[in-house]
Amino acid sequence: FLRGAAPTNVQVAAIRLACSLGLPSTREAVVALSEEGPGPVRIEALCGALSGELTDELAVRVCHVCRGAFSAGSGEVRSRAWMALAAALQNKHLPSDAFRSHLQLCVLEYARKNMAAVERSAAVTALSEAFVNFPESDLQALVDSGALEAVASCSEDYSPSNSGIVARAFMRAMPFGGTSLLADSLKAWLLDERTILRRLAATVIGSDSCTMEGVQRLLDTGLLKALLAVPRGPQKEVQEKRTGRLTWTQMQKLAKEKADRDERDRQVAREAARAAVQAVKVGSKEQTEAAIICDAADWLCTALEAEIQSLGKARSRQRSAEELQKWQDRYGDSDDEMHHSYDLSEHKAEAGEAEETFLQIGEAIDSMLRIGGEPEQTMIRAFQSVRGLRAELRSMTHTLKGTAAQKLSGQLLKKLLDKQSQKQLQQVRCEKCTANPKTCYSCEGSGVTKCKACHATGKAKNQCRNCNGTGVQQSDGAGCSKCRGKGSFQSQCRKCNGGGQWPCPKCGGAGTVFCRACEALRRKTHGQAKLGKEPKPGISIAKCSAADLQMMQKLWTDRGGTGKIVAAWTVDNPLLAWRQRQFVQEYKVACQRDPDQIQGYHGTGDCNVMSIVESGFDAGKRSGQAFGAGEYFAKNPEVSKSYAGAGSYMLVCSLALGTQASSQELGDGDHIWADGPKYYVIANPGQVVPQFILRWRPFPDPRPAISDAREARLDYALSQAKASTVEEEVKEVPPNRPAEMTADATDALWIGYLNPQLSDSQLEEDLKGLLQGRLPTELLGKWRLQIVRGRYTQAKVRLGGMIPREDVLKLCSDTFKEGGEGGKERTITVDDAHGSPEQKCPRTIAMYCRGRNLRFVDPCWCQHEARLTDLANFDLQPLEINSAKGDELVSNFMKSGPFHNGTPKVVEINSIENPVLSQLHERYKSYLRNKNGEEPRIVDLYHGTNNKILEDVYTHGLRPPSDTRPSESCSLSGGKGLCTTLCDNNCPECKDRHLWDKCHMFGLGNYLADLAAKSHRYCSEPVISGSRNRYRMIACSVATGKVLELEGHLKEGSGMHDVFSVRGLWTGDLEALVKPTTAEKKAKASPTVKCCEGLPVERHDLLFVKGLGNASKPGFSVHNSEYISFHPYQCLPRYEIVYEI
């Protein structure tokens, strides 16, 4: 049928049958029909001939037939001919020599000419198949012929059907000069709007990074830099305004299109990340350093975070599929079981692929850290810049237990944190060394020490052990086969690991060393707080302030107490507080973490109250001991009532909880938590400090006479305004410091130091005698004076105008008479209250100056030390929800539920361990202790904020806001959507004042709440976990000190916006800004500002704004109470509460 005359349909059938059977004897007859047969038979014969292997002679003939079909055939014939040619090249049926000699030029012409898109696309596919399937020996000639440029020039014809083969063709041609030929095209495609071109370019570039030679090609042509400059994920799109409403189908279509675009963007980003990984893993040290310049480190960290999230989602889907599989095994039929098994295998494969990618990226990061030097520093900077990466790695170490991913994530986290800590430590310097660092004499400023063993070559000469260095084998006298007769061989130096050098041990690789002042500054963050001398026995009992009573009443109600507290007194016992601090310090040294602090109720007879508050708990007087030997405290005050007997008083004690014991013997812990009756059993009385005495039951009327002397002592102490047996320390006046004012004039004065033994009224009278007649006459009646008491007694003067520097300095030499008539005459320092640029800051309180980030309200222009939190690192330690502190946190948190957007569920609690921040918090507590003469009380308050900046809060604490707006051009504060800058007042970019915009209602401070529901309103940017949102809220330990209560409405919404500190308030300022809640209270002259023990406003440490409930006015008062702190170290972020809604 093939050779003779037969109908057309019979010949077509014969051709198909012969080709399907693969009969070699019919091949020549089929080729002959393709040359001379009728039209339908010729094209069928051509397709059949190309479907099998051809000899060189037949291949030449077929090539000529193809050329004729391309030029003279109809559209269908040409299309079938192109498809047959592509298939023949793909299956390697057409010899490469025949194609290059007789058909390649024709195909190139069709790829270059202005032909129809279909034919041009077919020609591109044919050339791509040639690149993919030809042997490597023919590829160089194919590249030289211009085929690669021809394929690249038809980029508008790329489609999903041929982009894959085109990408494989480019990949195969890259080692044969294709990198340089395609460089410009690939760079342009990376910036093209068509996703298919961006993905193709990323795939091709990424594939060439798998070898050291490929990495070098990418670096030489700039392709690696271009690839790593693409966006690192889906980009936000500007939505166009549409008129009319969209239907459900239209919205679904738009959502699907956006999801597809985002997925393609992710694929491009994934290819870029793969290129960064390969460049670091297979490249040499020089290539790795060059890749780092191209932002490879940033890509690695971004890709690591993305893969952690992908791995978490894949693991979640795998667990869900496993649960479905278990359910199906128990209840389902066989068909459903097979379906779910298939789904489970898919999810397992997906999780395995994500884990493998994570391991590759992690190993690349680890290799960069091992290199050291600039690659290591760049990697650390990239690690710090990717928000959430540290939390994701830490989560991996807790969730993927027993896996390679868990092990690698733990190693990476430890290395990165250690390197970051070392880098931060190098940055802490005194002012002199910051301006002019001292060069290290050991390395002469280079930061490296050259290896003497290998003479900085990285290679060591080792004696051959086979021939003992002779070069001759002892057995037969022939040349040694291992060293080839040389007697030695070169290998990597073991001392420097082939690097030829290592960081200088003297300066740690910085090239500069620290002076004594720098070392002292570094010790402030890493040393233990001084415990101080053990104080003498003594107690102070005083009536509770309004704010303290409010806190006690809330604690009573939250813990399940009924009724209201009748009265409350504060107790200060310096000796017992010192013993508790001693326990805390010893525990921190032993366990490397802070113990938990909690408050517990203790009920006892009235006759025992005074002995407990004076001497503490006595282990020899214990009784009962149902849950183990120790002192017993209750979470619920109703439980403690039964232990009070007929008495009316109860104690609230501060408990330091270290390690929970596993048994009642307390052999492996210091406390027991009895979850059933809610008891705290404390092993050591030194862990307990009585803080409050509560009268929970009113006295009967008439009150019976007191017969017990111990009860009489208690009654007498509580009847006094303040009963104290503590010996007050006599404070001396320190010597005058020199006045260092450099400004031409000032509007505020600082005066010090004053005699602390004199009253405020006496000191004011003495200072008025100094200032009156010496200040300019135009300031008469304008200036105001206020005494400030802290560690030292000072005074501040608000002038109401400017005074020249000469007049200020003259006041320092004038005679100051202190103590009224017959008092002591001496000189005193008068200086600019805003400080001077060359002056060491005198306004620093507990390692922080509030004026350092203020530019307009009350700035400080002095020199300030580096922020010690720049040295800080934190760690999150899981806290058992069923532990004593966990139970306290969860119960208090859930008391205020449901929240405005749903009912929360606590899923995790983490203890925030930051030794530097904890140390600074202890310094602030020590400041309060010296200032107020009593132990500061600690209260747990909530703080809600953007969940994406929590790592900054855990590292640096809660920093009070500035009075300056951030500049978009500022590298630190710009482009973050902030309303106040993060910079100090010396920033050259941030200079515009921050104005009131319904924000900071009660001042520029840190806002906290005692209700979780209130703080939840400020929590934003949650993580989506399935169908629920996962939030994180901070529970802070706040050192209250003296609390100032504010009850009322603001007269103006912006009235207190510029209040930067409670110490910055003057007498009468608050009263002028706040009005009473109702006309009835105004008539009764109910105070809106309630001070502690009649102290001036400026001597308080924390502002408490009482919630007015339904009587509140939006924008002028608050519904629920809140606390405002103005010092960053007053609030210690202590616990992270993770919850879902």
Q: What is the β-pairing status of strands 671-674 and 567-572? A: unpaired
- Which residue shows structure tokens 């530019």? 855
The yes-or-no verdict on residue 679 having pLDDT over 70 is yes
Contacts of 457 (CB under 8 A, 6+ apart): 493, 500
The band of 8, judged by pLDDT with boundaries at 50, 70 and 90, is confident
Q: What is the pLDDT of residue 400?
A: 61
* Coil/strand/helix, residue 787: strand
The yes-or-no verdict on residue 1011 having pLDDT over 90 is yes
The yes-or-no verdict on residue 137 having pLDDT over 90 is no
Q: What is the pLDDT of residue 868?
A: 79
Contacts of 860 (CB under 8 A, 6+ apart): 834, 835, 841, 843, 849, 850, 851, 852, 854, 985
Contacts of 482 (CB under 8 A, 6+ apart): 464, 466, 467, 489
The kind and range of the H/E element at 227 are helix 223-227
**What are 540's strand-pairing partners?**
572, 724
Q: What is the pLDDT of residue 508?
A: 66
Q: Which of 325-334, 818-827, 1011-1020 has the highest mean pLDDT?
A: 1011-1020
Chain centroid to Cα 232, Å, comes to 19
- Mean pLDDT across the chain: 80
The band of 688, judged by pLDDT with boundaries at 50, 70 and 90, is very high
Q: What is the pLDDT of residue 401?
A: 63
Q: What is the pLDDT of residue 1016?
A: 94
Q: What is the pLDDT of residues 278-306, one digit of tens each?
A: 776 666 666 666 776 666 777 677 777 77
CA distance 29 to 130: 27
Q: What is the pLDDT of residue 556?
A: 93
The yes-or-no verdict on residue 697 having pLDDT over 50 is yes
The yes-or-no verdict on residue 114 having pLDDT over 70 is no
Q: What is the pLDDT of residue 337?
A: 45
CA distance 350 to 344: 10
Write the burial class of residue 838 (CB in 10 Å: 0-12 exposed, 13-18 middle, 19+ buried): exposed
The kind and range of the H/E element at 287 are helix 285-293
User: In this structure, what are the phi and psi dihedrals at residue 320, rounded to the nearest 5 degrees?
Assistant: -65, -40
HEC per residue, 340-386: HHHHHHHHHHHHHHHHHHHHHHHHHHHHHHHHCHHHHHHHHHHHHHC
Q: What is the pLDDT of residues 970-997, one digit of tens each?
A: 887 887 777 888 888 888 899 999 988 8
Write the burial class of residue 586 (CB in 10 Å: 0-12 exposed, 13-18 middle, 19+ buried): middle
Q: What is the pLDDT of residues 203-255, one digit of tens each?
A: 888 777 777 777 788 778 887 777 777 766 555 544 444 555 667 777 777 77
The band of 339, judged by pLDDT with boundaries at 50, 70 and 90, is very low
Q: What is the pLDDT of residue 1124?
A: 94
Q: What is the pLDDT of residues 1081-1131, one digit of tens each?
A: 554 555 678 887 778 888 889 999 999 988 889 889 999 999 999 999 999
End-to-end CA distance of the chain: give it in Å, rounded. 78
Could you tell me if 210 and 247 are in contact, meaning their C-beta atoms sit under 8 angstroms apart? no
Q: What is the pLDDT of residues 740-753, one digit of tens each?
A: 888 899 999 999 88
Q: What is the pLDDT of residue 72?
A: 67
Q: What is the pLDDT of residues 461-475, one digit of tens each?
A: 777 877 877 778 767
Rg (CA), the chain: 40
Average pLDDT over residues 328-355: 65
Average pLDDT over residues 35-64: 74
The kind and range of the H/E element at 944 are none
* Coil/strand/helix, residue 853: helix
* CB-based burial, 959-982: b 16+ in 10 Å, e otherwise: bbbbbbbbbeebeebbeeebebbb
The band of 424, judged by pLDDT with boundaries at 50, 70 and 90, is low
The band of 1080, judged by pLDDT with boundaries at 50, 70 and 90, is very low
Q: What length is written for the chain? A: 1141
CA distance 399 to 417: 20
Q: What is the pLDDT of residues 492-513, one digit of tens each?
A: 777 776 667 777 777 766 677 7
* Coil/strand/helix, residue 788: strand
Write the burial class of residue 955 (CB in 10 Å: 0-12 exposed, 13-18 middle, 19+ buried): buried
The yes-or-no verdict on residue 608 having pLDDT over 50 is yes
Q: What is the pLDDT of residue 569?
A: 94
Q: What is the pLDDT of residues 173-213, one digit of tens each?
A: 888 887 888 888 888 877 777 777 877 888 888 777 777 77
Could you tell me if 389 and 383 are in contact, meaning their C-beta atoms sit under 8 angstroms apart? yes
Q: What is the pLDDT of residue 241?
A: 46
Q: What is the pLDDT of residues 923-961, one digit of tens each?
A: 899 889 888 888 899 999 999 998 888 888 898 899 899
The tokens of 874 are what? 């934190």
Average pLDDT over residues 669-680: 87
HEC per residue, 8-70: HHHHHHHHHHHHHHCCHHHHHHHHHHHHHCCHHHHHHHHHHHHCCCCCHHHHHHHHHHHHHHH
Average pLDDT over residues 1026-1050: 90
The yes-or-no verdict on residue 1135 having pLDDT over 90 is yes
Contacts of 658 (CB under 8 A, 6+ apart): 583, 587, 591, 595, 596, 669, 670, 671, 687
Name the nearest CA neighbour of 304 among 347, 267, 270: 270
Could you tell me if 361 and 305 are in contact, meaning their C-beta atoms sit under 8 angstroms apart? no
Could you tell me if 835 and 862 are in contact, meaning their C-beta atoms sit under 8 angstroms apart? yes
The yes-or-no verdict on residue 456 having pLDDT over 90 is no
Q: Give the C-alpha distances (Å, rounded to integers) separating 320 from 317, 342, 344, 886.
A: 5, 13, 9, 29
Q: What is the pLDDT of residue 356?
A: 82
User: In this structure, what are the phi and psi dihedrals at residue 905, rounded to the nearest 5 degrees?
Assistant: -135, 115
The yes-or-no verdict on residue 410 having pLDDT over 50 is yes
Cis peptide before 1007 (omega within 30 of 0): no
Q: What is the pLDDT of residue 444?
A: 78
CA distance 1042 to 1021: 35
The yes-or-no verdict on residue 756 having pLDDT over 80 is yes
The residue among 806 and 591 whose pLDDT is bigger is 806
The band of 388, judged by pLDDT with boundaries at 50, 70 and 90, is low
- C-beta neighbour count of 235 within 10 angstroms: 9
The band of 38, judged by pLDDT with boundaries at 50, 70 and 90, is low
Q: What is the pLDDT of residue 654?
A: 94
Range with lowest mean pLDDT among 65-69, 717-721, 840-844: 65-69
Half-sphere exposure at residue 292, Cβ-oriented, CA atoms within 13 angstroms: 24
Q: What is the pLDDT of residue 431?
A: 59
The residue among 293 and 669 whose pLDDT is bigger is 669
The band of 103, judged by pLDDT with boundaries at 50, 70 and 90, is confident
CA distance 805 to 831: 9
Q: What is the pLDDT of residues 571-584, one digit of tens each?
A: 999 999 999 999 98
The band of 525, judged by pLDDT with boundaries at 50, 70 and 90, is low
Q: What is the pLDDT of residue 1125?
A: 94
Q: What is the pLDDT of residue 752?
A: 84
CA distance 263 to 1012: 38
Range with lowest mean pLDDT among 403-412, 718-727, 1005-1014: 403-412
Q: What is the pLDDT of residue 238?
A: 44
Cis peptide before 898 (omega within 30 of 0): yes
- Which residue shows structure tokens 């400017």? 802
The band of 420, judged by pLDDT with boundaries at 50, 70 and 90, is low
Q: What is the pLDDT of residue 74?
A: 64
Could you tell me if 539 and 726 are in contact, meaning their C-beta atoms sit under 8 angstroms apart? yes
The tokens of 764 are what? 């004011």
The kind and range of the H/E element at 762 are helix 760-771
